[in-house]
Chain A
Amino acid sequence: GAVVSQHPSRVICKSGTSVKIECRSLDFQATTMFWYRQFPKQSLMLMATSNEGSKATYEQGVEKDKFLINHASLTLSTLTVTSAHPEDSSFYICSARERTSGGSPWGPSYNEQFFGPGTRLTVL
Chain B
Amino acid sequence: ILNVEQSPQSLHVQEGDSTNFTCSFPSSNFYALHWYRWETAKSPEALFVMTLNGDEKKKGRISATLNTKEGYSYLYIKGSQPEDSATYLCAPYNFNKFYFGSGTKLNVKP
- A residues lining the B interface (CB < 8 Å): 4, 34, 36, 41-46, 49, 93, 106, 109-118
Contact = CB atoms under 8 A, between A and B. Distances in A.
A24 B54 CA distance: 36
B43 A49 contact: no
A113 B96 CA distance: 11
Contacts of A44: 89, 98, 100
Contacts, number: 45
Interface of B: 4, 32, 34, 36, 41-44, 46, 49, 51, 89, 93, 96-103
B42 A111 contact: no
B interface secondary structure, majority = loop
A interface secondary structure, majority = loop
| Residue from the set A36, A42, A44, A113 with the largest chain B CB neighbour count within 10 Å | A44
B49 to A, nearest CB: 5
